[in-house]
Amino acid sequence: MYNLTEAGRRKNITMFQVPEYFTSISQRLSEVLAGIGVNEKMVLKRRRSRLLAESLDSIVQTCGVMDHDVSGYYVGSQIEGTTTLGLKSDDDMLYSINCINIIQDWTEWDPDLVNLMMVRDHTTSPGYCYLQRLRNDVQFPSNEVPNNGYIRDSEGRVMMKNTCMEEFVGVLGQNSECHGPSYFIKGPTGYTGSTADLVFALPCKSPPLYALNWFRKQKTRFWDDRARCFVVAVASKVSDNEELEWRISTAVAERYMTFSLNITQIRCYILMKMILKTYKSICNNTLTSYICKTVLFHCINTTGSSFWLDHNLLKCFQYYLIVLQNYLLSNNCPHLLLRKNNLMAGRFLPQNKHMLLQILIHQMQSEGGALREIEIDDLNRHIVVNFSSIGNQDHLRSYSKISTELHGVLTATTATFGTMYRQMISSKALRLLSDILGLSARIPNRLLIYFAIYRRLTQIPALFIQISELILRMFLGRMWTFCEPRSEIYQTAFHLICPFICTTIGSITASWNIELYKAVTQEALNWLKQGLNSDTSSSRLKLASLLYCLEDMDGCELVLKITEDLFVTDYIQCICNCWMHEPLEIKVEYNDFCYNEHETIISYATSFCVCFLPLEINCVPKELQYEMFRLTTGDMPYVDLFDQWMGMAVVDSLPFLYFLKYKVYYTLQKQSDKERALSELAKTINDSVLWHRETAYNLLGQCMELENRPVDALDCYLKSLNIRGRKNVANIHICRLLASIINT
């Protein structure tokens, strides 16, 4: 083992000698990696985008909007910033099930939770434990086996089996695959974008006793996120009790360690991950990125900070490879916190180890030349261009501005949470109203609840408005109370999501105002006004849609003109995260803008989809209302995890803008303006990047019907069906159109 004293570190470095020309090679290689996004700015932006997403999720949980007590944490390479676009890293999420309490002594026992005692003895593998069931009424072990999730061990203790976690992920259904303790969320058929790995974990009340010294060295408070520890449902590969062992996870704590890495250390780690991906068939998930990260930290512990510098990159990487080789030869890589936990135990067959060693030897002997074999992120091409000094480096510098990942995460996350908040606020109102009205909460189709309430609530409209406003006031109040004492990242998350909620509650209230009074109260308009700056267009278009439904054509025309003027700027980008589609097609101007701006400014350059809940139905033109009824009985067997948005009317901002303009000018009988708007709508559908193109075609088809062009209308509906054959209201439009033609 390497000497960890300062003198030992200097000795280790002195013993490791490399040629002087490594310095110039290291500088060139650092430039190349910076050019593909491995630079300080990109790393920090990646981290911040995921921390924002995590903060939004925490706000949801703390405000009690969701029914289940689960906390989400981003872990892995995306939040660490240790990835590139070409590595296509998944988002790794750890979900803590907070109704369960893992304790190490009776002082941590909580009668309001399911208590399990962490048990470690001579039969448990290092870094693993058993979980013994405890009673909730008294501080005493339970003697009852309540269900198949528990089993009595050889000593008569009631232990929780690690297979019991499967019940927590039943909601994922056929959209997931089990990979050890994690569940891989599959995208739709043919989807090639990044996906997600979910790990469901049980929270420990305090860090494991063996980790206390490590946390003290990190100067971490035990109630801080950085000291959070969990147990996950997977046994050691050399376990004698596979169904009883649980792995102790310090993934959240380790991510904060990764935040302390400098850019040279991150570049070494990313180069290693590129090698793993290049030789994926050989590595075959035996040599994991987690093992490589652990080896990197061992390397850092045996060197001084002056070693890890840009001009030393190749020397650092060579040293990294040598240490990894030594661990492979000894078949022993100690865990960072528990040295007895060997991460390589039982992982490698002799032939796999031999091939891995050959790869490492090849990399070391090539002195960096073998990196030209890596095609990920076009690393080989960029190395050739940079090292040969052919041409200028402008394309490399512009490549560093490829920020699809960072702004995509930020804007898509905001869109996701905006949709989620709308659904959850509405769901909470529905639950309260269902109880009051005596409706069954077990009705499987949420739309049935919506419209059961819609029919019956006309007699008690004030109650709905009162409940809706109460929910939002409580929600916003608790959000701010939650955010205020916390870090700036939480407050930023609050300010990003707040306008979406204001717009939704204003639109819901206005919808019921229209139902009852054919007018809208000032309070509803005030809520809508508070949400106008959620993004470039979506909230403004909801206001314009409301004004159209109120037959205020002049007001609607004014709002539409203001919104259209905002789209003149080149860097405005339309973003959708309603469902898992192929990676976003992002404008270069938007990339550059996002690379240099703060996320609150980025939101003003982003145009989200316009989403209407069924409870907002009176603020929606009748042509778009059809989209709320796209799910027929025949479609229900095909509804999956990614179809949650289909109970709403959702449309891209630009086509909805021109559709509203057409409807306004059609009503005002401004012929030339109407024809211009219709032409712009058709041009937008054909030429623009749209995520709900089938909906846009449905709107265009109905415009064609108004123009008495049934053949063109039918063509639009057929094009819509070509995009989405099922779960598409175009089927209704075609039947309706044909019936109209026949009856004419």
Residues 619-663: tens digit of each pLDDT: 999 999 999 988 877 777 777 666 767 878 999 999 999 999 999
What pLDDT is recorded for position 393? 47
Judge whether residue 292 has pLDDT over 90: yes
pTM: 0.81
Quote the CA–CA distance of 469 and 451 in Å, as a whole number: 20
Q: For the chain, what percent of residues have pLDDT higher than 70? A: 75
* Residue 614 covered by a domain: no
Quote the CA–CA distance of 533 and 604 in Å, as a whole number: 7
Do residue 29 and residue 85 come from a single domain? no
How large is the average pLDDT for residues 164-180? 61
Do residue 283 and residue 183 come from a single domain? no
What pLDDT is recorded for position 1? 37
* Residue 680 covered by a domain: no
How large is the average pLDDT for residues 260-281? 93
Question: How many Cβ atoms from other residues are within 10 Å of residue 622's Cβ?
Answer: 9
Domain end call among 259, 290, 317: 259
Q: Over the stretch 105-146, which tens digit does the pLDDT of each residue have?
A: 999 999 999 999 999 888 888 889 999 999 989 999 999 998
Cα 620 off chain centre by: 29
C-alpha angle with apex 464: 460 to 465, nearest 5 degrees? 115
Find the domain containing 255 and state its range: 68-259
Q: Over the stretch 4-30, which tens digit does the pLDDT of each residue have?
A: 444 444 444 544 566 777 888 999 999
Instruction: Out of 247-261, 441-455, 671-685, pick the least confident.
Output: 441-455
* Residue 685 covered by a domain: no
Q: Over the stretch 51-110, which tens digit does the pLDDT of each residue have?
A: 887 887 776 666 544 445 778 888 989 899 999 888 888 888 888 888 899 999 999 999
Q: Over the stretch 520-572, which tens digit does the pLDDT of each residue have?
A: 989 889 889 988 988 899 999 999 999 999 999 999 999 999 999 998 878 88
Quote the CA–CA distance of 200 and 214 in Å, as a whole number: 25
Question: How many Cβ atoms from other residues are within 10 Å of residue 165's Cβ?
Answer: 22
CA atoms lying within 13 Å on the CB side of residue 364: 18
* Residue 62 covered by a domain: no
Judge whether residue 465 has pLDDT over 70: no
Instruction: Out of 272-281, 479-488, 659-668, 687-696, pick the least confident.
Output: 479-488
Question: How many Cβ atoms from other residues are within 10 Å of residue 568's Cβ?
Answer: 7
Do residue 176 and residue 133 come from a single domain? yes
* Residue 48 covered by a domain: no
What pLDDT is recorded for position 460? 41
Q: Which CATH number do you get for residue 299?
A: 1.10.1410.40
Instruction: Out of 379-383, 484-488, 572-576, 635-639, pick the least confident.
Output: 484-488
Local structure of 198: helix, strand or coil? strand
Judge whether residue 410 has pLDDT over 50: no
Judge whether residue 169 has pLDDT over 60: no
Quote the CA–CA distance of 76 and 258 in Å, as a whole number: 10
What pLDDT is recorded for position 499? 83
What pLDDT is recorded for position 721? 95
What pLDDT is recorded for position 394? 45
Do residue 100 and residue 227 come from a single domain? yes
What pLDDT is recorded for position 60? 63
475-508 exposure pattern, b = at least 16 Cβ within 10 A, e = fewer: bbeebeebbeeeeebbbbbbebbbbbbbbbbbbb
**DSSP for residue 605:** G
Do residue 575 and residue 626 come from a single domain? no
- Please report, as a single letter, which amino acid is at residue 256: Y
Quote the CA–CA distance of 661 and 104 in Å, as a whole number: 65
Averaged pLDDT score across all residues of the chain: 80
Do residue 358 and residue 498 come from a single domain? no
Do residue 241 and residue 267 come from a single domain? no
CA atoms lying within 13 Å on the CB side of residue 433: 29
Do residue 295 and residue 191 come from a single domain? no
* Residue 51 covered by a domain: no
Comparing 193 with 344, the larger pLDDT belongs to 344
Do residue 312 and residue 433 come from a single domain? no
Q: What are phi and psi of 205, to 5 degrees?
A: -65, -35
* Residue 46 covered by a domain: no
* Residue 679 covered by a domain: no
Instruction: Out of 246-260, 281-295, 598-612, 636-650, pick the least confident.
Output: 636-650
Domain end call among 365, 393, 421: 393
Do residue 266 and residue 254 come from a single domain? no
Domain end call among 218, 238, 259: 259
Q: Number of folded domains in the chain?
A: 4
What pLDDT is recorded for position 607? 87
How large is the average pLDDT for residues 175-196? 61
Tokens for 669, please give them. 């009988």
Q: How confident is the model at residue 222 (pLDDT cuts 50, 70, 90)?
A: very low
**DSSP for residue 201:** E
Q: Which CATH number do you get for residue 225?
A: 3.30.460
Q: Which residues contact 362 (CB under 8 A, 6 or more apart)?
A: 370
Do residue 457 and residue 322 come from a single domain? no
Do residue 268 and residue 385 come from a single domain? yes
